[in-house]
Amino acid sequence: MKPILFETTIFGWPFFLPTYGVFLAFAFLAALWLALRSARRTKIPGDAILDLWIAALVSGIVGAKLLLYVLDLDYYVENPRAILTGLRSAGVFYGGFAAALITCVVMVVRRGISGWKVADIAAPSIALGQAVGRLGCFAAGCCYGRPTTLPWAVTFTDPEAHRITGVPLDVPLHPSQLYLSAADLALFAVLLVLSRRKRRDGQLFLWYVILYAALRTALEFTRGDPRGMLWGFSTSQYIAVATALTAVVPLWLRGRRAAAGRRPAAR
């Protein structure tokens, strides 16, 4: 739609502000604000949350880009200049999620903080950040949808969007980015409700992983951008199913232990 928010010349040098970058900044700040509020209620030090958030941002961006390049390795080997263009796209969420998760696990262990408490703080914040960030994807044209004749189809016309992301121009497409943004916002609302009914640490984060995986798997069918396909399913769908199944196990085990702890002792 509008990949470049504005551009100008400063001292003879061209300067431009990418719309995706602006939304990414808003997403980061909104998520951090919510995480700091939640941390105060759980007595987790705010400076620890800030450090984790910055580390997660940096590692998440790196991980998202790396998985993007890995999935289309042959293309980037044949077109090395496209690597620079890829730096301006969103990358693959699950690559960023895995990198940020590993980074945060290392940091909470070193700091002696409850990892499950931090994860529960992060879950609604991540969903909120995703809802905002996907609007940046829509503006840039990345993560675009399949052609459609639906009345709410969107048509990209900016040549810069095509150059950066490869989005087809003058073709009605599913607004997949808006679908994902709305789904993330709904997930955020669900997690807020669940947070008031949480019975044990880690429950909120695990439900986030499961519910996001379900939403992502369903909405991937509306996507039209190249992102690695195998037997009719995208790489993200396979990763989503794997992460959901991985999250189900500890969610069930922790629930079973909590139920066992509430049972009256045998006489």
Give the pLDDT of residue 263: 53
The residue that leads in pLDDT, 232 or 51, is 51
- Counted residue by residue, the chain has a size of 267
Residue 266 forms part of a structural domain: no
Long-range contacts of 214-222 (CB under 8 A, 24+ apart): 214/240, 214/244, 215/180, 215/183, 215/184, 215/187, 216/93, 216/180, 216/240, 217/241, 219/176, 219/179, 219/180, 219/183, 222/145, 222/146, 222/148, 222/174, 222/176, 222/179
**Single pTM value for the model:** 0.83
Residue 67 forms part of a structural domain: yes
Give the pLDDT mean for 73-91: 61
Instruction: Write down the residue that tokens 């969420």 correspond to.
Output: 93
Q: What is the rounded distance in angstroms from the CA atom of residue 172 to the CA atom of residue 146? A: 8
Residue 216 forms part of a structural domain: yes
Give the pLDDT of residue 8: 66
On whether the CB atoms of residues 142 and 225 are closer than 8 A, the answer is yes
Give the pLDDT of residue 6: 61
pLDDT confidence bin for 185, thresholds 50/70/90: very high
Residue 90 has pLDDT above 50, yes or no: yes
Q: How far is CA 200 from its chain centroid? A: 24
pLDDT confidence bin for 266, thresholds 50/70/90: very low
Give the pLDDT of residue 267: 47
Give the pLDDT mean for 131-142: 87
Residue 138 forms part of a structural domain: yes
Give the pLDDT mean for 134-158: 89
Residue 56 forms part of a structural domain: yes
Give the pLDDT of residue 214: 93
- Where residue 108 falls (left for φ over 0; alpha for ψ -120 to 50; beta otherwise) is alpha
Residue 264 forms part of a structural domain: no
Residue 115 has pLDDT above 90, yes or no: no
On whether the CB atoms of residues 182 and 222 are closer than 8 A, the answer is no
Q: What is the rounded distance in angstroms from the CA atom of residue 186 to the CA atom of residue 179? A: 11
Mean of per-residue pLDDT scores for the chain = 82
Residue 241 forms part of a structural domain: yes
Give the pLDDT of residue 60: 85
Range of the domain at 183: 4-10+18-258
pLDDT confidence bin for 111, thresholds 50/70/90: confident
The residue that leads in pLDDT, 160 or 189, is 189
Residue 162 CB partners (closer than 8 Å, separation 6+): 141, 156, 168, 169
Residue 117 forms part of a structural domain: yes
* Burial grade of 11 (CB within 10 A; 0-12, 13-18, 19 or more): exposed
In this predicted structure, which of 40-54, 117-131, 139-153, 164-178 has the lowest mean pLDDT? 40-54
- Where residue 191 falls (left for φ over 0; alpha for ψ -120 to 50; beta otherwise) is alpha
Give the pLDDT of residue 75: 60
Number of domains in the chain: 1
